[in-house]
Amino acid sequence: MLTGDQLNVNLPRLYSDLAWVWPLWEELDQYRPDADFYTELIRKYARGQVNTLLDLGCGGGKADYHLKENFKITGVDISLAMLENARRLNGDCEYMLGDMRSVRLERVFDAVLVNDAVSYMTDKVQLGQVFATARRHLRRGGVMIVGADHTKESFIQNEITVSKGGGDGVEITFIENLYDANPADTICELLLIFIIRQSGKLRVEKDLHTLGLFEEPVWTEQIQNAGFKPRRHLFITEEAGAKREYTFFACVRD
Ligand SMILES: C[S@@+](CC[C@H](N)C(=O)[O-])C[C@H]1O[C@@H](n2cnc3c(N)ncnc32)[C@H](O)[C@@H]1O
């Protein structure tokens, strides 16, 4: 399997030289409601017992930290640095390098989670590749859970979110800005600014991510093309005092 670097993919700084800030960002507790929601959907739709879960684009393993209470986790990610974070957090889970568009582990799982990492698919061909990967790794009666972090329908132009984190003598303010420069294409920008204060020194770092942005029917079309019947669910949560709704799809492998 190849890493982002070996594939000559330019990883965002958050997943390369700034990956050390990931554990200092959102508290693990913040991932609990999300993990409970995925677990509930998997249990609702899966046929037969569910023991194993493949997390495609597992990042630093914060969701896995909660999911491992109910499932035996295997995580795949394209960033070596994020996998190191995940391994440090969840020494009892299995983590492997790979690209969620093309990885082939040659084994099947009871459930596959396709969550925030799928935001990095910038055209519908790549979206389809991810769903085909998920299908290839599911047993019959197993469930794929897909989270669409952003859709054209729910997108808030120029949205700014500010949060704080830190630990071990470091204080970090995280500023996120989402912007769709051209509504006619399928991408948007996520600009991250990190204000880092450490040992009396101030550093400001900038990290620009390119994300995919599709209408909901494009998500359902690509899921259907991969051979699934998507069931739509809304995950409603509160972030920084504001109510947010995220679209999820539960998809059983027939
Ligand atoms: C926001 S992080 C995921 C965080 C994760 N849900 C957690 O609980 O810690 C997004 C991840 O997507 C990964 N990613 C982006 N493109 C990918 C690809 N093509 N294949 C695998 N992972 C990818 C990045 O390396 C990054 O670790």
* DSSP annotation string for the chain: ---TTTTT----GGGTTTGGGGGGSS-GGGGHHHHHHHHHHHHHH-SS---EEEEET-TTSHHHHHHTTTSEEEEEES-HHHHHHHHHH-TTSEEEE--TTT---S--EEEEEE-GGGGG--SHHHHHHHHHHHHHTEEEEEEEEEEES--TTT--TTEEEEEEEEETTEEEEEEEEEE-S-TTSSEEEEEEEEEEEETTEEEEEEEEEEEE---HHHHHHHHHHTT---EEEEEEEEETTEEEEEEEEEEE--
Best residue among 79, 131, 190 to mutate for probing ligand 1, ranked by most atoms within 8 Å of CB: 79
pLDDT tier, 9 (very low <50, low <70, confident <90, very high otherwise): low
Q: Where are the domains of the chain?
A: 13-151+214-252, 159-211
Mean pLDDT across the chain? 95
Q: Quote the ligand 1 centre to 197 CA distance (angstroms).
A: 26
Share of the chain above pLDDT 90, in %: 92
Whole-prediction pTM: 0.96
Of 238 and 120, the structure prediction assigns the larger pLDDT to: 120
Q: What is the CATH number of domain 13-151+214-252?
A: 3.40.50.150
* Atom nearest to 58 CA in ligand 1: 5
Q: What is the CATH topology of the domain spanning 159-211? A: N-terminal domain of TfIIb (2.20.25)
Q: How confident is the model over 16-67, as pLDDT tens digits?
A: 999 999 999 999 999 999 999 999 999 999 999 999 999 999 999 999 999 9
